[in-house]
Structure 1
């Protein structure tokens, strides 16, 4: 539901997954008319793997939020299913999901020009990973300003920037890195001060780490 071209996204990912499993792979492209369909939601809840495509995370959550789809995904997760996703499908894993929009700018840009408070737009995500803000395409699109803006709004959270062709494997409170590039982790901002001038902000210190394949770290 994230993608503007769901059929093409499904065909692409199906070809990849067919190399890995003989299990049936199906597309569930819910909308407002099918969100309460019990048969479809039962299929979702019983899936061993739920993979969420890229696109627009807000488009996905606008369909899923406050519906049986949300409940079915959480029930599948509690039953031991793997919930995965790419790009927008990674962003939706958080409680506080980055939409990509700025409150203080009318035009969308892939990165933020500066770090300002009350600028980052977030909304409710799936909340499968707690106390974490996830950003994606991170190094490729230099999204440091966006992730640091998130930490200004949610200073007790851990900011995780995942680069392209790279993934997190989350098992309880431990995260392992896999893939070709790197993951940036920022946390514990201290001395946050907010200026009245153009909503600028200062941070006296914060922790930052860079991880690559095979390395692990803990979250709260």
Structure 2
């Protein structure tokens, strides 16, 4: 469940309410963040409790060894939902990657526990994490940085930052390097809820942009010089708003 960085807790309320509704009656929610995170974890925890969570616990990762702590692992083992919070994806991914906590999150998610990522935590959910890059509408060679993510899905690359024109170049550059994936661009206060059937539903006040390179034609990715524009032909793009659904397996919007 990737969620675009919220502009306000009030704007995120519909997203949090949906997360709680699929997590059971008065669910136990675990927030996972890096020690240096700038996100308001206490305020988010209070908002979740006000919306119906039974209990909210925060796990703050300050070192990779925290991902091996038995108390942290037990907390996630007994959780009904997990929310990853970050302003910079590498800050959290370098603390989580390869730890017992990361493996536990993948297992619990495969068993049906919802795992959400908010702000830069959204990018972390994918196997190929979009860790940073240049703003602007044109994809450029070297204009995007990819790193290993948590790996809950290998079907998508997620960019949750900025307006469409600011992030489109980054997303296209990432797809030029990974043309088997779908690109998801999330507006603020907008989330993509991906169910066990790999059908995505949009929740929130903004839009979700999906870029599909499945039928890509010519691309000069192998020959482009550093910072040169990347040519990509025959892309498909969809813009989905609240309530719209999309089948990730068959790559098509649903009525």
Normalised to the residue count of structure 2, the TM-score between the two structures is: 0.76
1:165 — aligned with what?
Answer: 189
Structure 2 unaligned spans of 5+: 1-32, 250-255
Residue 16 of structure 1 corresponds to which residue in structure 2?
Answer: 47
Q: Which has the higher contact order (CA 8 A, sep 6+)?
A: 2
Partner SS for 1:86: strand
Q: 1:145 aligns with which of 161, 166, 169?
A: 169
- Pick one of 204, 213, 216 that aligns with 2:242: 213
Q: 2:16 corresponds to which residue?
A: none
Q: How does 1:80-95 map to 2 (within 5 A)?
A: 80-95=112-127
Instruction: Write the distance in 2 (CA, Å) between the matches of 1:162 and 1:193.
Output: 27
Superposed displacement of residue 87, structure 1: 1.2
- TM (norm. structure 1) is 0.88
- Written as runs of structure 1 = structure 2, the 5 A alignment for 1:164-203 is 164-172=188-196, 173-188=198-213, 189-194=216-221, 195-198=223-226, 199-203=228-232
Deviation, 1:71, is: 1.3
Q: Distance in 1 between matches of 2:165 and 2:229?
A: 22
Pairs aligned (count): 211
Find the aligned partners of 2:160 and 2:178 in 1 and give their Cα distance: 18
Quote the residue 1:105 is aligned against. none
User: 1:143-188 CA distances to partner (integer Å, 9 max, x unpaired)?
Assistant: 1100010111011110010100111010021000010011111112
Change (3 A) 1:83 1:196: closer
**Superposed CA RMSD:** 2.0
SS of the residue corresponding to residue 40 of structure 2 reads helix
Separation in 2, partners of 1:176, 1:191: 31
CA deviation map 1:102-125 (0-9, x unaligned): xxxxxxx5x147422344211110
Please report how far the alpha carbon of residue 140 of structure 1 lies from its aligned counterpart in structure 2 after TM superposition: 6.2
SS state at 1:205 partner: coil
Q: CA–CA distance in 2 between the matches of 1:150 and 1:168?
A: 19
Q: How does 1:121-136 map to 2 (within 5 A)?
A: 121-136=145-160
1:4 maps to which of 26, 31, 36: 36
Would the aligned equivalents of 1:93 and 1:126 in 2 still touch at CA under 8 Å? yes
> 1:21-60 counterparts in 2 under 5 A?
21-30=52-61, 31-60=63-92
Structure-2 residue corresponding to 1:70: 102
- The runs of 5 or more residues in structure 1 that have no matched partner are 102-108
Residue 41 of structure 1 contacts residue 72 of structure 1 at CA under 8 Å; is this kept in 2? yes
Query: What is the CA-CA distance between 1:2 and the residue it aligns to?
Result: 4.2
Q: Distance in 1 between matches of 2:120 and 2:78?
A: 23
